[in-house]
Amino acid sequence: MSMAQLSTKDNNLEPKRARRDIQPALSFSDEDKIGTMQPHDDTLVVTLRIGGYDVKRVMVDQGSGAEIIYPDLYKGLNLRPEHLTAYNSPLVSFDGKVVIPRGQIRLPVQAGSKVVEVNFLVDAYSPYTAIVARPWLHALKTVSYTLH
């Protein structure tokens, strides 16, 4: 009998085991492509819980470093101009125009059981209600994948 076994047995303790966090995996197979038109690389658009509300039409943009909410959502969350902090760096919009955001606000975003605080820029109109980008994906330790 080894010393580790002896001392654990004598102290009525369980042997120490490496603790590891088990992360549920969300995965897809080729069967999940059945019924979709292939090939495609559609934009990934999801519903997320932002600021305590379920928000539809949130685009996941791996190519952007800026998370953005648009005025309709900002108003829908009952946020006011005094909730904003200053943000003066310009952004380039989808159509190539330079835009100065109205400000920045930090809101909780929930995906599944994980909640991440996100600094959103408040910007002009878009067909989406919000955009989450690389910082959000990184905080969740996840990768978006649009094949399926």
CATH number of the domain encompassing residue 48: 2.40.70.10
4 lies in some domain:
no
For residue 49, what pLDDT is reported?
93
Residue 15 domain-assigned?
no
The predicted structure's pLDDT at residue 17: 53
b/e 113-145 (16+ beta carbons within 10 angstroms → b): eeebebebbbbeebebbbbbbbebbebbeeeee
Helix (H), strand (E) counts: the chain: 3, 8
- Looking at the domain assignment, is residue 86 inside a domain? yes
Domain ranges, residue 119:
35-140
Confidence of residue 105 (pLDDT cuts 50, 70, 90): very high
81 falls within a domain: yes
Over residues 141-147, the mean pLDDT reads 73
- pLDDT over threshold 80, residue 42: no
Is 23 a domain residue?
A: no
Residue 47: inside a domain: yes
The tally of domains found in the chain comes to 1
For the chain, give the percent of residues with pLDDT over 70: 76
In a domain, 18, yes or no: no
Reported residue count of the chain is 148
Q: Is 19 part of any domain? A: no
